[in-house]
Amino acid sequence: MSQKSKEQKSSAKKPKNVRHNYVKNPCEADNPQRLEADSPINEEHTDQIDETGSILTSHKDSVIHCLTIIGQIEGHYILSQQNKTTKYEHVIPLLVSIEEDERIDGLLILINTVGGDVEAGLAIAEVISGMKKPTVSIVLGGGHSIGIPLAVAADKSYIAKSASMTVHPVRTTGLTLGVPQTFEYFQRMQDRITTFVAENSGISKERYNQLVLNTGELVMDIGTILEGGEAVEEGLINEVGTVSDAIEALCAMIKQKKERRYQSCKEAEKG
């Protein structure tokens, strides 16, 4: 066989239209004739891992959007590129799209954050708490400072046994004016956080303020560090658990919602 014939035979064996650097998501249809638009899982969503730290996945006939909130919550000012950040201008539109996408059944939020911009964190937390789709959060590693409102904003919250949460007052960096108005401003901001946490968890405002103003635990600061079980005992988090526990709980909530919707449709048909 000639060299030219060997090359033609070798090239004939190579598949065409191969998508390089792409791992197929198990949720994608096996039928190649199916349009990607018909499935919520495609290459574009897989690429979101690099862009927003989120991905779609399926579990027990449910489509779940998994969102990670990591590092520091970046607000109106851009942080150093050396910092791991979660950008609120990425997360908020993403949450809106999840809420509006009928193909997505629920939202799983993985949290490992040191805190960050107060108003940006509260904005994200408000969007999560206002979603009608089932939401479950789990704190992995740490959910400190403004990460607490983010954790309690979900319908149900979990914390890993080894994770912790630091409750402390609002603080600032840079120059501040030593006038009564400055103190009042920080007090009002702290009240916003306290009110949100109390309304979305099982802890009272009074108890949360006690944890915030604790002077006997942190050497260089005031506040309280709560480990997994302690956060549950205080009423901040619902349960200690793993990612698997969080997924199972989310799927159960999705199933209940589908059953309620089915019953509503049946009653409407009878009426």
Residue pair 167/217 in contact by the 8 Å Cβ criterion? no
Q: How many CB atoms lie within 10 A of CB 58?
A: 16
Between the alpha carbon of residue 120 and those of residues 110, 193, 265, the distances in Å are 17, 12, 39
- Check 54, 62, 137, 145 and give the catalytic one: 145
Buried b (16+ CB within 10 A) or exposed e, 17-37: eeeeeeeebebbeeeeeeeee
Cβ-in-10-Å burial (0-12, 13-18, 19+) of 15 comes to exposed
* 146 three-class SS: coil
Q: How many CB atoms lie within 10 A of CB 261?
A: 10
Cβ-in-10-Å burial (0-12, 13-18, 19+) of 3 comes to exposed
Give yes or no: 76 in active site.
Answer: no
Give yes or no: 145 in active site.
Answer: yes
Residue 260 belongs to what H/E stretch?
Answer: helix 243-270
- Check 54, 157, 168, 201 and give the catalytic one: 168
CA distance 129 to 119: 15
Name the residues annotated as catalytic.
145, 168
